Amino acid sequence: QSGTGLFGGGDNVQSPPDSAFTVNDVCDAHVLAAGAGPELHEVTAALAEIADAATGPLLTGGVHTPNHRWELSAALARLHRSFPDARLLARVEEWLGEGVDIDAEGLYSERSAVYASIVTNPSLLLLADVLDRADLRDVVERNLAATLDLIRPDGTVETVHSRRQDQKLSFPLWPYLPHYRLLAIRTGRGDFARAARLAAADGIDDPDLLAQTLLTPDLCRHLPAPDAEELPRARYLPTARLAAHVSATAHTVVYGGSDVPEHRRIRSGLACNPTFLRLFAGAAVLDAVRLSRVFFDLGPFRAADMEQFGDNRYRLTQTLTTAYYQPLPKDRRRDDGAYRLLDEGRFSAAMAFPDRPQDEVSHTTRVEVDLREDGCDLRIDISGPSVPWALELTFRPGGEPQGAVPLGDGSWCLTTEPLTYRVGDDEIRVEAAVETGEPLAGPDRTDVLRYDPGQDYTVVGGTDATTGNRVYLGGHGPQALTLTLRATSQA
C-alpha cells in the first residue's frame, strides 16, 4: 500500500478499481477478525488502518471498465459496513445511478464469464445485502439464468462471445458455485441447484469459499432439489448473436456476434473471436470452425449479421468492402504533396482518402446453419471476385482425424471423403460436398489450406490461430458447399 492509500502492482498505476479488489478482501477479513475474539485484536486494528488509508482515494477515484464500477462500489459498501460513513453510500449511489449494464437476455455488456463470476455478480450480491436492494439481486438472477444455457458438457462456460480476455480461453463453471448455490437456496430454483451441483462436481478449488460461508451463513443451508436436465433444448441470445442447441448426443454453439465488422479493428474490449461454430460429442470436441478468405488481408469470416429464419436455423452474413482510390480532384491537391495521414478502415496512409473518388470491391460470405439433435448442417456460399478460401476445423486433442490426408504439423486436408474424429466411444463425422464452383483443393495446395488471421495481427507478427488437430478444406471462390456434422456420443 503506497502513501496515497492505493495499492501497487499490475499494469494499472495508482488504480482505484484494482485497489478495490484488495480492499474488499481487507474488509471481509476485518469482519472475520473482529468477530473472532481478543486474540485477533491487533490484526483487526491493522486491517482497520489499511482500510482507513484506502477510503479517501476510493471515494474520489475513477475506473476503466464496466465491471470496475461494481467492484469499487462493493469496496465502498464494505467500508461502510465496518466503518459507517454517509459519504461512502453517496458515492455508491453515484455509480449505481448509471444503471447496471445488463441486456435484455441477461448478459452484462462485457459478455465475460470471468468478470461476471469473479467481479460483477459477487459485487452486486454484496451491494444488494448491504443496501437492501432486491433489484440488484434480481440482476444477478437474470445473469445466472442466461448462463444456464452457456454451460458446456465439459464443465466450462461458453466464452466465444466475450469482449474480454476470456474470449480465447476455456473458463470453468466452479467460480459460479456460491452465486448459484445462494440464489438456489434463497429462491428455491431447482435449475440453479442443478448448476450449483455441476459447479462443485470436480471439488471445491477456492479457499475464499470458506470466508464467504462464514460471512453468508445461508450458503450452508440445504440446496433445494435440483431440476432434471431438460433435453433437447435450444436458446438464442440475439443481443450477443449466440445460439446453443443441446441434446443427449450433441451440444452445438453458433456464433455471429463479433464487434470487428462494425469497428473494423482488433481491440481490447471488443468481441474478436472468429470462431463461428463449436460441437461437443462427449469426449470428441470440435473446438472451433473458422473460415479464411484471402481478400485484401482483411482477416477471417466474422459475421456482421445473424438471422434466425426457422426453428434452430440461422444465417450468418458478412460483406467485406474495400476500395481503389482515384487521383485527387484539382482543388484538393497540395503543392508540397503532404496529405493527411488517415485510417481508411483497412490501413493507414498519407493519402487524404475521404477526398478521393474510389472504386469499391466487395466480397460476401453467407453461412447457413441448421442445428439438429445429432449435430448440424452447414451451407457456405462465397461470392464476389475469385479468391482463395479455407475452412478450418480444430478438434480438441485426444483423437486423430480418419479419412483426411495428413499435411504435417498437426494438420490434415479434407476432400470429398468422409472424416471421422473419434475419442473413445464418442465420434464426430464430417462430410463435405461442392454445390457450385471448382472442386476442393487437394493436399498439395498448402498455400490455400491454411488459416490467415488478417493483417491486424500479421503486421506485428502476431496471430489468433487455434491449437489442436486442424483439418482444412479449401478452394477458390465463388463457391457454394455443404457440410454435414454428425455426433455419436455415449456420454
What are 369-392's pLDDT values in tens digits? 999 999 999 999 999 999 999 999
Q: What is the rounded average pLDDT for all residues in the chain? A: 95
Residue 278 has a pLDDT of: 98
pLDDT digits (tens, 9 = 90+) for 433-478: 999 999 999 999 999 999 999 999 999 999 999 999 999 999 998 9
Residue 491 has a pLDDT of: 65
Whether 66 has a pLDDT exceeding 90, the answer reads yes
How does residue 345 score in pLDDT terms, banded at 50, 70 and 90? Answer: confident
Residue with cell 478499481: 17
pLDDT digits (tens, 9 = 90+) for 390-432: 999 999 999 999 999 999 889 999 988 899 999 999 999 999 9
DSSP sequence for 85-138: -HHHHHHHHHHHTT---B-TTS-BTT--HHHIIIIIHHHHHHHHHHHT-HHHHH
Domain boundary assignment for the chain: 233-324+359-488
Residue 276 has a pLDDT of: 98
Whether 14 has a pLDDT exceeding 90, the answer reads no
SS3 for 237-268, per residue? ECCCCEEEEECCCCEEEEECCCCHHHHCCCCC
Residue 97 has a pLDDT of: 97
Over range 149-154, report the average pLDDT.
96
Over range 305-312, report the average pLDDT.
95
If we measure between CA atoms, which residue out of 479, 372, 489, 483 comes closest to residue 418? 483
Exposure class string for 238-262: b at 16+ Cβ within 10 A, else e: ebbbbbbbbbebbbbbbbbbbbbbe
Whether 12 has a pLDDT exceeding 80, the answer reads no
Q: Which amino acid is at 182?
A: L
pLDDT digits (tens, 9 = 90+) for 102-126: 999 999 999 999 999 999 999 999 9
Over range 358-367, report the average pLDDT.
97
pLDDT digits (tens, 9 = 90+) for 185-214: 999 999 999 999 999 998 887 889 999 999
DSSP 336: T
- Which fold would CATH assign to domain 233-324+359-488? Beta-galactosidase; Chain A, domain 5 (2.70.98)
**Around 372, how many Cα atoms within 13 Å sit in the side-chain half-sphere?**
12
pLDDT digits (tens, 9 = 90+) for 45-58: 999 999 999 999 99
- Residue 197 cell numbers, joined: 451441483
Whether 287 has a pLDDT exceeding 70, the answer reads yes
- Residue 319 cell numbers, joined: 460483406
pLDDT digits (tens, 9 = 90+) for 230-264: 999 999 999 999 999 999 999 999 999 999 999 98
If we measure between CA atoms, which residue out of 121, 140, 134, 7 comes closest to residue 74? 121
The more confident residue out of 12 and 407 is 407
Of how many residues is the chain composed? 491
Whether 10 has a pLDDT exceeding 80, the answer reads no
Residue 124 has a pLDDT of: 99
